[in-house]
Amino acid sequence: MAQCLPFVIALAVLVIELTPAHFIYTGPLLTAMPALAAVTLGPKGTLAAAALALAISVTTATYNQAWTTLQVYTNFLALALVSIAGLLTSSAVQARRRSELEQVRRIAMAAQEVVLRPVPARLGPVRAASLSLAAGTEAQIGGDLYEAVGTRYGVRMIVGDVRGKGLTAMRAVGVALGAFRETAHYEDEPTEVMNHCSAALQREVAVPGAYSQTIRLEGFVTAVLAEIPDEPVVHVVNRGHPVPLVLHRGRVHALVPALSCPPLCLEELVTDLPRKAESYPFAVGDRLLLYTDGVTEARNRDNEFFALAKTMEAVRADTTPQEFLEELHQALVRHTGGHLTDDVAMILVDRLE
């Protein structure tokens, strides 16, 4: 409403000046337009308000044949001075806000990097790499999570996405990753690792306070867990997350689960959850990609989704995992024109033995 006030004033002045009510002195009203715009509309809005006020002043002075009076020129001088002061003030305020926002964003990104660490380059029978990209939406921390660890059961990886953004989402990320990092080393069944992550989130929801209320409303987590043992297979537990992709001999295969399962914290939606992970072939030379929906839901100017599988097949076979992810990153930037609307997280592993 405050942003419309300068233009409401402009309309009021026109009504007064172009009707029999023009005996009312409107100079102070026009002078107030750039001052109000400086507070609410920024430099461009201030300039537009000043230009509009000047145009109205010229129009009304001509209509009322007031160019011979000294008051007209006094009004122009006052309008010019207030406009200049408004532009300077608005530019300074905008610069300060930009600086404060950048500082908050740097702090948010630092906090995110503490929780999300790069995966090791070599884990048992696989080479690995990770990639995390922020959407750049002000200072909001995203809710993407990922981790890969070597255990006595094989290499275990998780990629997930907390609904929502901000510190609430980041806290949920920390809870889920903490549970995964602990239980991945002693639970022999991947489904139990995932269940522990969900239980940890549910315990956090049960804590009284504003945070738990926010999580209850919007904080469920989609996640996929993959386990790579010594055998040429990969065991997958998918809880409402985009399906992993395997690149085998130049062709991409989606690891679609036989049974759809709800995200973490929404187990009450089903009567029974699978007790065993699903297994898929994963031979030497194959590549496995876990990712968040920020990749597949990225759109171009024509509102077309990013063709992840096709892009994977186009990447050279001799690239390292990190080079492979960088190729996907560059293709994603080209597709979106550099404007991501959601955060992106990916883990890629190559089977070496």
Q: The tokens of 103 are what?
A: 């500082």
The residue with tokens 């009312």 is: 24
Average pLDDT estimate for 102-130: 78
> What is the rounded distance in angstroms from the CA atom of residue 347 to the CA atom of residue 99?
33
Query: What average pLDDT does this structure show over 240-249?
Result: 95
% the chain with pLDDT above 70? 77
Q: What span, in angstroms and rounded, lies between the C-alpha atoms of 9 and 255? A: 62
Question: Would you list the domain boundaries of the chain?
Answer: 2-106, 118-351
For residue 26, what pLDDT band results from cuts at 50, 70 and 90? low
How far CA 125 is from CA of 233, 291, 338, in Å, comes to: 12, 21, 35
Give the pLDDT confidence of 32-72 residue by residue, as tens digits.
777 777 777 777 777 877 787 777 777 776 766 666 666 66
**28 pLDDT band (50/70/90 cuts)?**
low
20 in Cβ contact with 55 (< 8 Å): no
Higher pLDDT, 84 or 303: 303
Cα distance between residue 142 and residue 170, in whole Å: 7
Instruction: Specify the residue for token string 């233009």.
Output: 7
**DSSP 8-class letter at 244:** P
User: What is the mean pLDDT of the segment spanning 319-325?
Assistant: 95
| Lookup: tokens for 284 | 């030497």
pTM of the model: 0.71
Chain position carrying tokens 């689960």: 257
CB atoms within 10 A of CB 214: 18
pLDDT at 212 > cutoff 70: no
Q: Supply the pLDDT for residue 283.
A: 95
Give me the pLDDT at residue 293, please: 92
Q: pLDDT averaged over the chain? A: 82
Split at pLDDT 50, 70, 90, the class of 247 is very high
Q: Which token pair is 322?
A: 């990190």
pLDDT at 143: 78
CATH topology classification for 118-351: Phosphatase 2c; domain 1 (3.60.40)
pLDDT score of 219 more than 60: no
Distance CA 206, CA 204 (A): 5
